Structure formats: C-alpha cells, structure tokens
Chain A
C-alpha cells in the first residue's frame, strides 16, 4: 500500500471567494485527517488574510464560462460584467455555503489555525502591495519568503490553488 500523506502545503493565489475556499477546505480537511497543514497566501490570495478585506471576498463573474443562472441555464459570459452580477453571485454562493454550514472565511481561518494549521503571507507580494504585518488578521503566523516556504514544506505535498 502507498504511504499515507502526512503533510500538505497549500498555496492560495486567488482572491475571489471561489479561489480561496478550495484551499481552506483542503487545509481543514487535512487537519481533520491528522495531516499537518500549512497555508501560503500569495498575490491576490493575500486578500483572504487581510483583516479589512477577508470578510468581503466576492465571486468573480467576468470570464467565468462555467457560470450558470439559478435553475441551471448557462449564463452568457458577457452578462458577468453587468454591474451587480458579482454581488448577486456572491450572495447566492454565501447562502448555499451557509446552508451547508461552511463557515465564513474569517471563522474558517480561525478554525484551521486553532486546529494547528499554519498561515503564512508571501513576502514578495506583501512588499509589492506595500503591506505590513498590521494589515493581516491575527491568525497570520508570519510573512515569509519563497525559500522559507520550501523549507517549511520539507516532506510535504505542495498543492497550488
């Protein structure tokens, strides 16, 4: 039998709601299975741990060819650009998630952190966006370089989302 996975390092690189959640669900799911989990937020993925932004992430409706309208009919991609469309899609997705008891981003990150998961911000992006440690939620463990990331990922499976 193949060796079980003992450790995962998950990179979150997108800042949309649907870009952030898969990484959070995978990290939490890893901890549930007794697997060590490290989350590394980079580029727009940083929004998920920026204190003033993490509660207002939204669904990206522009350029998303898989978008469907309520009822399942395919949505022409051009409609994604209509003002209010992203807000509507975000509202719908949050409602569905709430019904499944999937926690909001802030609460989910607290849960992962309390479960022993580690949260890191990418130094290159922090410098590029002129951010400081004070801009982040208290669960953010440290701002680290890509080299540090690989060091911390020793023995881990790296997952890019």
Chain B
C-alpha cells in the first residue's frame, strides 16, 4: 500500500489513490488534496459538496455518485462539473478523503 506525505502527516492510500482511512482526513488535508487535483482554493460551494459526501458516507458506507449529488447536495449538475472538472463525484470523494463512489449513475 502506498503512502503520501500531506500537511506533515504520512497517510495511507488505497489502490485508487484515495485516502485509505477517512478518519485521517481534516480540512487542511482537503486543501492539499484539492491542489493535487488542480483546484487551487476550495470555496464555499466546494465545501458544501465535500461535507455532503462525508455525511452520506458516514450514513451509508458509500460515497454518493453523480445522480445523488445532483438530486440532494443542493448543487446542480452544471455547477458540479464546473467545481470539480473531470468527474465531480470521483474528485470530490478524493478530496473528502473517501474511497471512490461505487455507484454507476
């Protein structure tokens, strides 16, 4: 299993390159992860999505995919793709310290 050095901590990664333990995560780590995904600064909308991802993950054990994000996060599809180019569900899960969402839709 590979590890990565972020915000002074050594963190384990899963095979997709996402954090292996979502309890390792904090907001500072999220900022750093966002930078590696090409997002310079996380704004309020980003945080809305990230917090929604973490909330659903804690309740259901799986991060939501795009359909649930579109329907329930309060951010619509267009905005989601603008906030997290190249895959909102996949990118926001990584920044939120969660495994890649398993849903197909």
Contact = CB atoms under 8 A, between A and B. Distances in A.
A2 interface: no
Interface residues of B, number: 18
Interface in B60-97: 65-68, 70-71, 76-78, 81, 85-90
Contacts of A102: 67, 105
Given A32-B87, A101-B67, A115 B105 contact: no
A139 B105 CA distance: 19
- Interface band, chain A: 10 to 19
A100 interface: yes
B90 A32 contact: yes
Nearest to A111: B77
Given A114-B78, A114-B81, A116-B81, A33 B105 contact: no
A63 interface: no
Interface string A37-57: 000000000000000000000
B67 A34 contact: no
Interface string A18-45: 0000000100110111100000000000
